[in-house]
Structures are given as C-alpha cells and as structure tokens.
Amino acid sequence: MNRPHRAWFDHALRAHLYPALAVITVAYLCFELSGPPDRIGHRYGLFVGGMVVVMVLIEMCHPLRTNWRMTNATFWRRDLPFLAIGAATIAGANYLAAITATRYSLERGTSHAELPFAVGLVLAVLTTDFLWYWVHRSSHEARGKVGRFLWRVHAAHHLPRQVYVLMHAIGHPINAIVVRAILTLPLFFLGFSPAVVFAASVVTAFQGLVSHFNVDSRVGWLNYVLVGTELHRYHHSAKTTEAKNFGAVVSIWDQLFGTFYYRPGEAPEQLGIDDPSHYPKDTQIAEIMTYPFLQRRSPPGS
C-alpha cells in the first residue's frame, strides 16, 4: 500500500472503525430481537465469533503498537487456555443459575418490565455498569483481606504486557462468575424484560471487545460517554496514576467519582503490573488459578 493510500486508510480506521462496528452490532441486535422471543440469543455465538475474527485480522494488519500484538506464543500458551477456562466457567455458571432458579422457584421482578425498550436498555446498562464500577474499583483500591482477595482474583487480567482483542478473555474464573452475576441477577430481580437483558449483555460484550482493541481507533467526545479503546488502554497502564477508568461501558461513573483518565491522541508507555516480580507469569495458568488463595501479601493493583 503506497503512502497516500496508507494515510487515507489509517485515517479511516481512526475515525470510522468504531462507528462501523457499532452499526454492525446494532444491526445484529435488531435482527435477533425481531425473531421469536424464545429464540433470542441463539445466533449470539456466531455474531461474537465473526466480530472477533474481523477485529483480530484488522489488528494483525494495522496494530497501534507492534509490541502489543498477539503472537503464536501468547495465543497457545496463554490466550487459548484462558478462553477454554472462561467458556467452561460461563457454561457452568449459566447451568447452575438455571438449576437454582428452577429449584428455588426464583421469580423475575416486574417493576421494569413495561418500560419502553430504549429506556429499559439505557437503565439496564447504567445499573450493571454502576455495580461493576464499584466492584472493579474495589478490586484495585480496597484494602484489608477482602481488598487483597479481590485484587488477587482480578490481577490475572492485568498480568499481560499487551492489549488486544483476545486479551478480553484473560481472567480468573471467579472474576468471570462475578461479572456474569452482575450482568444478570440485578436485572432479573428488577424485572427488566428478557429482550432488554439480552441487549444489555450484547452492548457490554461489544464494549469489552473494542476496549481491548490494538488499533488506533478514536471516538473523540464519545470518550466522555463511553469506555472504549482509548480509555481502557490507560486502565491497563503499568503506572498506577494512569490505571483508572473502572467502568466497562460508560465513563460517566469515572467522571462522577474522580477516576477518569484521558489524554487525547496518546497511549500508555507500558502495560501490565508495575512490579511483576510479586506475581505469577501470565503463562503460568495453574499458579494464576491458585494465586487468590495464597496467604502471601502482594501489592495492590496497578
């Protein structure tokens, strides 16, 4: 690709990639929700798989930082095992939730069931993201036994010194269970419709993917509304002064509670943990799984 065409393509990626992916996600949601209610979500795996493939190909060809890109070694030794563990964890959590709801006859709430879809979706996303903000922030900043345990669980996600799409899946199973609980249980008991609950989970998953994107994708003023690629990179910074932005979808809570960090057009110098010697290596899967249950003290999260 010659220089003028490369410059044009780089500009297109920066300015239009996020809107294009968002439009595809909205189109998928409209298609999914237009079908029978009992079939909602049946094509979700295909959608996510297709989105991930496209995004991986883009960041392989046009990475923001070459030293942050996925390699054969990181994929086989770290990413694939965590993907398998995460899939098994989510499947098990969903099964246990279904059994619990059936056995104990848990009843869905009704207080938000009649809300217009758009209003319900906004409220659902704000609710779950508010809860995640405080759990996430506590995982980094809380002290004492509880704080140390939360950080030990969450630290797995911060061990890598790269950030790319598949990095989204790297995390301890306990962290995955907490996330699933936050995304589903409050909305279930508050009585949001199944369509709204599903749509909120799709929006959250989409933001999770783009927030780990190793591509120079920018959204300008939308950073003051959404937590996307530019903001979440700073959350993975090895500098504790930069590692803020605890929201998953919206940046509103970070702005309200003083944890918003943004330098337009810039990226962190280094990602990961500020002192890796206190932690397992990101490829030591067994050690990472047992790390939350060790008694040895560790520094708080970066």
Q: Tens of pLDDT along the chain (302 residues)?
A: 556 667 777 788 888 999 999 999 999 999 999 988 888 888 999 999 999 999 999 999 899 999 999 999 999 999 999 999 998 998 888 778 778 766 666 677 777 778 899 999 999 999 999 999 999 999 999 989 999 999 999 999 999 999 999 999 999 999 999 998 898 889 888 989 889 999 999 999 999 999 999 999 999 999 999 998 999 999 999 999 999 999 999 999 999 999 999 999 999 999 999 888 889 999 999 999 999 998 655 555 54
pLDDT of 295 reads: 62
In the numeric block, which tokens belong to residue 276?
A: 């890796």
Which residue, among 288, 270, 290, has the nearest Cα to 279 in the 3D structure?
288
Answer whether 20's CB lies under 8 Å from 213's CB: no
Find the domain containing 288 and state its range: 3-293
The upper half-sphere exposure of residue 276, i.e. CA atoms within 13 Å in the direction of its Cβ, equals 15
The rounded distance, in Å, linking the Cα atoms of 115 and 97 is: 25
In the numeric block, which tokens belong to residue 9?
A: 């393509």
Domains identified in the chain, total number: 1
What does the DSSP 8-state code read for residue 237?
Answer: B
The rounded distance, in Å, linking the Cα atoms of 227 and 232 is: 6
The whole-model pTM stands at 0.91
CA dihedral 87, 126, 245, 182 (to 10 degrees): -30
Within a domain: 26: yes
Within a domain: 301: no
In the numeric block, which tokens belong to residue 136?
A: 């996430």
Within a domain: 299: no
pLDDT of 302 reads: 45
In the numeric block, which tokens belong to residue 182?
A: 């936050």
In the numeric block, which tokens belong to residue 142?
A: 């809380």
Which residue, among 301, 42, 43, has the nearest Cα to 172 in the 3D structure?
301
Which residue, among 217, 231, 225, 213, has the nearest Cα to 122 in the 3D structure?
225
The rounded distance, in Å, linking the Cα atoms of 228 and 223 is: 7
Residue type, 57: L
Within a domain: 155: yes
pLDDT of 42 reads: 87
Within a domain: 260: yes
Within a domain: 172: yes
Answer whether 129's CB lies under 8 Å from 247's CB: yes
Residue type, 81: P
Within a domain: 92: yes
Which residue, among 223, 237, 228, 227, has the nearest Cα to 210 in the 3D structure?
228
| DSSP H or E stretch at residue 267 | none
Within a domain: 41: yes
